[in-house]
């Protein structure tokens, strides 16, 4: 036990200099995984493992090696806690208690609830706002992207939505050109991360930069129209809340009860924010529709 504790101290001191995560560099973890694979992941042992593995685990791609990594992760975590050391990460992630086939159950549930809230608000929006509203199709497209695409796409589309609302209604050509530019930026961003190098620091910096543009643009428009449009306060609250809640993504701590981490808390916290934002979109679309109908009558 003393020898293991000494290795833990050495690893803790060298963590900043070495690549990978501290937990999966621990010799106890590596030896455990190696022995588990030799014992369970070949020949008749592998057939026995597959025969007793729940069907939902095999269908979602959990392999014998994955199971060994999961079990050995907790062996290593227990050792760290016994020796009074901080819980380490494994392969770039904190240890989570698995539920069914979900490695991060709280984040998965929060993502589902986020998507459900967006879908419900989309249905309400499509019911209450006629398709003739100037912002209707842009808002509907934004809702679908919130459900199915990555954070970068959602932020870029929010920037585009702001462009349409502030400039594009008067100058559609400007909005079309800006949309093409954003699509080019998104394509370059995804191509670089997928085919060249997945750089977490670059991805975070890019999303923060785009997020700042989104926040400043929306806030400037909100402040300019706050007295004239009574529903604008909703947009302002949403922008400020999202900016504050995004700080949760920058926090780095082991999950509470091995389930709830900063990412899951962020997902859960943004559910009411999405509802408020759709309420703003609904009010604003109806306001624009009323204005366009009044203009049509005057003409």
Q: What pLDDT does residue 181 have?
A: 92
Q: What pLDDT does residue 220 have?
A: 93
Q: What is the pLDDT along the chain (299 residues), one digit of tens a residue?
A: 434 433 443 334 333 333 467 778 888 888 888 888 888 888 888 887 787 878 877 777 788 888 888 888 888 888 888 888 888 888 777 788 887 867 777 777 777 787 777 777 777 767 776 766 555 455 444 444 444 345 567 677 788 888 988 888 888 899 889 989 988 988 888 888 778 876 767 777 887 788 888 889 999 999 999 888 889 999 999 888 877 777 776 677 777 887 777 777 877 887 888 788 888 888 888 888 887 666 555 55
DSSP the chain: -HHHHHHHHHHHHHTTTSSS-HHHH-HHHHHHHHHHHHHHSSHHHHHHHHHHS-HHHHHTT--HHHHHHHHHHHHHHHHHHHTTPPPPPBTTB-----BTTBSSHHHHHHHHHHHHHHHHHHHHHHHHS-TTSTTHHHHHHHHHHHHHS-HHHHHHHHHHHHHIIIIITT-HHHHHHHHHHHHHHHHHHHHIIIII---HHHHHHHHHHHHHHHHHHHHHHHHHHTTT-TTHHHHHHHHHHHHHHGGGGG---PPBTTTB-HHHHHHHHHHHHHHHHHHHHHHHHHHHHHHHHHHHHH-
Q: What is the pTM of this model?
A: 0.63
């Amino acid at each position: 036990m003393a020898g293991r504790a000494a290795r833990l101290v050495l690893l803790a001191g060298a963590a900043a200099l070495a690549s990978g995560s501290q937990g999966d560099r621990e010799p106890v973890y590596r030896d455990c995984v190696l022995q588990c694979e030799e014992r369970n992941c070949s020949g008749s042992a592998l057939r026995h493992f597959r025969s007793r593995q729940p069907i939902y685990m095999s269908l979602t791609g959990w392999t014998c090696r994955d199971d060994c990594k999961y079990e050995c992760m907790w062996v290593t975590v227990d050792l760290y806690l016994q020796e009074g050391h901080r819980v380490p990460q494994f392969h770039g992630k904190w240890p989570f208690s698995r539920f069914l086939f979900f490695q991060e159950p709280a984040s998965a549930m929060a993502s589902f609830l986020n998507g459900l809230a967006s879908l419900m608000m989309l249905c309400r929006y499509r019911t209450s706002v006629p398709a003739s509203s100037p912002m209707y199709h842009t808002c509907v497209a934004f809702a679908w992207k919130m459900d199915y695409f990555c954070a970068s796409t959602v932020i870029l589309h929010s920037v585009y939505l702001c462009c349409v609302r502030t400039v594009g209604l008067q100058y559609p050509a400007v909005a079309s050109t800006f949309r093409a530019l954003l699509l080019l930026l998104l394509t370059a961003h995804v191509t670089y991360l997928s085919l060249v190098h997945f750089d977490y620091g670059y991805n975070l910096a890019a999303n923060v930069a785009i997020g700042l543009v989104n926040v400043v643009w929306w806030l400037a428009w909100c402040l300019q129209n706050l007295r004239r449009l009574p529903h604008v306060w909703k947009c302002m609250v949403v922008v400020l809340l999202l900016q504050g809640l995004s700080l949760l993504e920058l926090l780095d701590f082991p999950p509470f009860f091995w389930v709830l981490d900063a990412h899951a808390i962020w997902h859960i916290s943004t559910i009411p924010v999405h509802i408020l934002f759709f309420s703003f979109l609904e009010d604003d679309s109806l306001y624009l529709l009323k204005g366009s109908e009044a203009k049509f009558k005057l003409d």
